[in-house]
Amino acid sequence: MKLETRLFIADFTHLDCAWFDPLQGLIGESWRVDAELAGELADNGMLCDFGVVKSVLKQALDEQIDHRLLLNAAQAAELHNQSGHSTISLRNAASEEWHYRAPSSSFALLDTPTIDAGHLAATLAAPLRALLPDNITHLNLTLSPAHHQGPYRYCHGLRQHSGNCQRMAHGHRARLDIQVDGERHHQLETDWQQRFDGRYIGSEEHLSISGSRHRYAYQASQGAFELELPQNRSCPIEAEPTVEHITAHMARAIARQLPGRRIECRAFEGIGKGAHSCAELKPRP
Ligand SMILES: Nc1nc2c(c(=O)[nH]1)N=C([C@H](O)[C@H](O)COP(=O)(O)OP(=O)(O)OP(=O)(O)O)CN2
């Protein structure tokens, strides 16, 4: 009898990254990751302990991919490195231009023609399998976008974050729920999703404006970050662009637009986490 036994681990980690879409420009993305392994069972009756697989694969993906700007082979060739920092200029099909300068650890250089879930999974499988015990002969990875490819993708950098969220070119695929007096308001949801989609959401504190260009710059614990982009791809808010401040920004703006109504905004930041803000502007007596 021919018998093969495979091991699967669904949703063992999430990736929150950014990549440059030649049509749209700089966008954030969130993927959930599943793994399937094949090989010879070890003497303990396991292909490999779930705990070992999860921690080895998650650590490698966290170090090599998560919170980085993913560059395909052609884009990677445009990267200039100097003294621990790297700079890239990228142009979309409409000739709009982005310049990004950041510590070199903020980039992932991938030997793929395009950046998408399929190419990324295929290119990562062999080096990640090599980190697992020798009896594992096959590793398949599946990356699935958050929210069923739904509604908006943005980038942001959190200067005050001590970890990798301080990197400007990282982002998320997100969705939001907006309620007015307890009722879902689909038009407002569509308006705000369109306002954020394909944007860098940044703090006004780090912004300088020159004509139709926006430039965000800050010094964080990993080094200096700088992103210059077309004004129509930038969405400045009044504070550090945490998901708490993003939902508060929306709730306040809608409450001003609809005085006397109770506004509730709930936004995801990637997969399974987010924030919720409520606001109401009392009408003047
Ligand atoms: N309270 C908040 N905490 C964090 C925020 C935030 O807005 N409010 N934001 C971030 C980062 O933007 C980050 O991109 C999210 O990181 P996350 O994926 O949660 O980080 P981990 O890598 O630790 O989680 P995984 O489960 O490994 O994906 C951070 N915190």
- Domain CATH code at residue 152: 3.30.479.10
Q: For residue 285, what pLDDT is reported?
A: 73
Among protein residues, the one with the nearest Cα to ligand 1's atom 2 is 242
Report if residue 55 sits inside a domain.
yes
Q: Is the pLDDT of residue 144 over 80?
A: yes
Q: Is the pTM of this model over 0.90?
A: yes
Q: Which domain holds residue 227?
A: 7-279
Whether ipTM exceeds 0.95: no
Residues 121, 127, 128, CA angle at the centre, nearest 5°?
A: 70
Between the alpha carbon of residue 148 and those of residues 27, 165, 271, the distances in Å are 16, 23, 11
Report if residue 1 sits inside a domain.
no
What's the rounded mean pLDDT across residues 73-82?
Answer: 96
Report if residue 266 sits inside a domain.
yes
Q: Is the pLDDT of residue 145 over 90?
A: no
Among protein residues, the one with the nearest Cα to ligand 1's atom 11 is 165
Cα Rg for the chain, rounded, in angstroms? 21
Q: For residue 48, what pLDDT is reported?
A: 95
Identify the band that residue 276 occupies on the pLDDT scale cut at 50, 70 and 90. very high
Report if residue 2 sits inside a domain.
no
Nearest ligand 1 atom to alpha carbon 242:
7
Exposure pattern of 96-115 as b/e (b: 16+ CB <10 Å)?
bebebbbbebbbbbbebeeb
Q: For residue 151, what pLDDT is reported?
A: 83
177 in contact with ligand 1, CB cutoff 6 A? no
Task: List, in sequence order, every beta strand (DSSP E) within the chain.
Answer: 7-21, 25-39, 69-71, 80-82, 85-91, 97-103, 107-109, 136-145, 152-156, 170-174, 176-180, 183-184, 199-203, 207-210, 213-220, 223-230, 234-237, 263-268, 274-279
Total count of domains within the chain = 1
What's the rounded mean pLDDT across residues 100-110?
Answer: 98
pLDDT, tens digit (0-9, with 9 covering 90-100), for 52-68: 999 999 999 999 999 99
Q: Is the pLDDT of residue 148 over 90?
A: no
What's the rounded mean pLDDT across residues 7-26?
Answer: 96
Q: Is the pLDDT of residue 278 over 80?
A: yes
pLDDT, tens digit (0-9, with 9 covering 90-100), for 220-243: 999 999 999 999 999 999 999 999
Q: Is the pLDDT of residue 204 over 70?
A: yes
Q: Is the pLDDT of residue 165 over 90?
A: yes
Pocket test residue of 16, 154, 250 for ligand 1, highest count of atoms within 8 A of CB: 16
Identify the band that residue 2 occupies on the pLDDT scale cut at 50, 70 and 90. confident
Report if residue 23 sits inside a domain.
yes
Q: Indicate the average pLDDT of the chain.
A: 96
What's the rounded mean pLDDT across residues 7-25?
Answer: 96
Contact 187, 267 (CB under 8 A): no
Q: For residue 149, what pLDDT is reported?
A: 63
Report if residue 273 sits inside a domain.
yes
244 in contact with ligand 1, CB cutoff 6 A? yes
242 in contact with ligand 1, CB cutoff 6 A? yes
Report if residue 161 sits inside a domain.
yes
Give the span between the Cα atoms of 216 and 210, in whole angstroms: 11
Report if residue 285 sits inside a domain.
no
Pocket test residue of 69, 176, 196, 269 for ligand 1, highest count of atoms within 8 A of CB: 269
